[in-house]
Structure 1
Amino acid sequence: MSDLPLPPGSTLGVLGGGQLGRMISQAASRLGFDVVILDPEADSPAGRVSAAQIVAGYDDPDALTRLGRLCDVVTFEFENVPAASIERLAEAGALVAPGPTALRVAQDRVDEKTFLNAVGATTVDFAVVDTLSDLDEAVAVIGLPALLKTRREGYDGKGQVWIRDAAETAAAFEAISGRPAILEAAAAFTRELSVIAARDRDGAVAVYPLGENRHANGVLKITLAPAEVSAAGQARAHEIAEAILDGLDYVGVLGVELFELADGTLLVNEIAPRVHNTGHWTQDGCVCDQFEQHVRAVVGWPLGPTAAHARVEMTNLLGDEVEAWRDLASDPAVRLHLYGKAEARPGRKMAHVNRVLGSA
Structure 2
Amino acid sequence: MSGPLLPGATLGVMGGGQLGRMFVHAAQALGYSTAVLDADADSPAGRVSHHHVRTGYLDETGLRDLAQAAQAITTEFENVPAQALRTLAAQRPVHPSADAVAVAQDRTQEKAHFTRCGVPVAPHAVIETPEQLAAVRADLLPGILKTARLGYDGKGQARVDSPQALAAAWDRMQRVPCVLEKLLPLAFECSVVVARGVDGAMVNLPVQRNLHRDGILAVTEVGAGVVPDDVAQRAVEATRAVAQGIGYVGVLCVEFFVLHDGALVVNEMAPRPHNSGHWSIDGADVSQFELQVRTLAGLPLVQPRQHSAAVMLNLLGDLWFTHGSEREPAWADVLALPGAHLHLYGKAEARPGRKMGHLTCTAAHLADARATARRACEVLGLEGF
The question of 1:127 aligning with 2:125 is answered yes
Alpha-carbon offset, residue 37 of structure 1: 0.3
Q: 2:275 maps to which residue?
A: 277
Structure 1 counterpart of 2:339, from 298, 316, 333 = 333
Structure 2 counterpart of 1:342, from 320, 345, 348 = 348
Alpha-carbon offset, residue 230 of structure 1: 2.8
Q: 1:284-313: CA deviations, max 9, x gaps?
A: 110001001110111001113322111111
Match of 1:122, SS state, is coil
Alpha-carbon offset, residue 132 of structure 1: 3.5
The question of 1:33 aligning with 2:32 is answered yes
Match of 1:317, SS state, is strand
Distance 1:239 1:49 in 2: 36
Give structure 1 regions of 4+ aligned residues with deviation exceeding 3 angstroms: none
The question of 1:13 aligning with 2:12 is answered yes
Alpha-carbon offset, residue 320 of structure 1: 4.0
Distance 2:333 2:237 in 1: 41
Distance 1:355 1:162 in 2: 33
Q: 1:65 maps to which residue?
A: 64
Match of 2:251, SS state, is strand
Distance 1:164 1:320 in 2: 30
The question of 1:88 aligning with 2:87 is answered yes
Q: Is the 8 A contact 1:132 1:173 kept in 2?
A: no
Q: 1:149–1:320: structure 2 CA closer, same or farther, 3 Å change rule?
A: closer
Q: 2:216 maps to which residue?
A: 219
Q: Is the 8 A contact 2:127 2:180 kept in 1?
A: yes
The question of 1:229 aligning with 2:231 is answered no
Distance 2:66 2:297 in 1: 16
Q: Is the 8 A contact 1:287 1:305 kept in 2?
A: no
Q: Is the 8 A contact 1:161 1:175 kept in 2?
A: no
Match of 1:128, SS state, is strand
User: What is the correspondence of 1:124-163 to structure 2 with a 5 Å cutoff?
Assistant: 124-140=122-138, 142-163=139-160
Match of 1:117, SS state, is helix
The question of 1:193 aligning with 2:190 is answered yes
Structure 1 counterpart of 2:362, from 344, 356, 360 = 356
Q: 1:252-292: CA deviations, max 9, x gaps?
A: 11111001112222111000000000001111110001001
The question of 1:78 aligning with 2:77 is answered yes
Greater shift after overlay, 31-40 or 322-331? 322-331
The question of 1:170 aligning with 2:167 is answered yes
Alpha-carbon offset, residue 328 of structure 1: 1.8
Normalised to the residue count of structure 2, the TM-score between the two structures is: 0.90
Match of 2:195, SS state, is strand
Counting aligned pairs with the same residue, the percent is: 45
Greater shift after overlay, 17-26 or 330-339? 330-339
Match of 2:47, SS state, is helix
Q: Is the 8 A contact 2:17 2:45 kept in 1?
A: yes
Long gaps (5+) in structure 1: none
Distance 2:126 2:166 in 1: 14
Q: 1:113-140: CA deviations, max 9, x gaps?
A: 0001101111102211013442231143
The question of 1:207 aligning with 2:204 is answered yes
Match of 1:45, SS state, is coil
Q: Is the 8 A contact 2:14 2:37 kept in 1?
A: yes
Q: Is the 8 A contact 1:132 1:170 kept in 2?
A: no
Distance 2:201 2:82 in 1: 25
Q: Is the 8 A contact 2:123 2:140 kept in 1?
A: no
Q: 2:369 maps to which residue?
A: none
Q: 2:379 maps to which residue?
A: none
Greater shift after overlay, 262-271 or 15-24? 262-271
Distance 1:101 1:150 in 2: 20
Distance 2:31 2:13 in 1: 16
Greater shift after overlay, 81-90 or 234-243? 234-243
Q: 1:182 maps to which residue?
A: 179
Distance 1:320 1:168 in 2: 30
Q: 1:51 maps to which residue?
A: 50
Q: 1:125-177: CA deviations, max 9, x gaps?
A: 2211013442231143x431011111100111111111112221221112212
Q: Which amino acid aligns with 2:219?
A: I
Greater shift after overlay, 180-189 or 29-38? 180-189
Long gaps (5+) in structure 2: 321-327, 367-385
Supply the RMSD in Å over aligned alpha carbons: 1.4
Normalised to the residue count of structure 1, the TM-score between the two structures is: 0.96
Q: 1:238 maps to which residue?
A: 236
Match of 2:352, SS state, is coil
Alpha-carbon offset, residue 339 of structure 1: 0.1
Distance 2:89 2:176 in 1: 31
Match of 1:49, SS state, is coil
Distance 1:24 1:9 in 2: 16
Q: Is the 8 A contact 1:132 1:169 kept in 2?
A: no
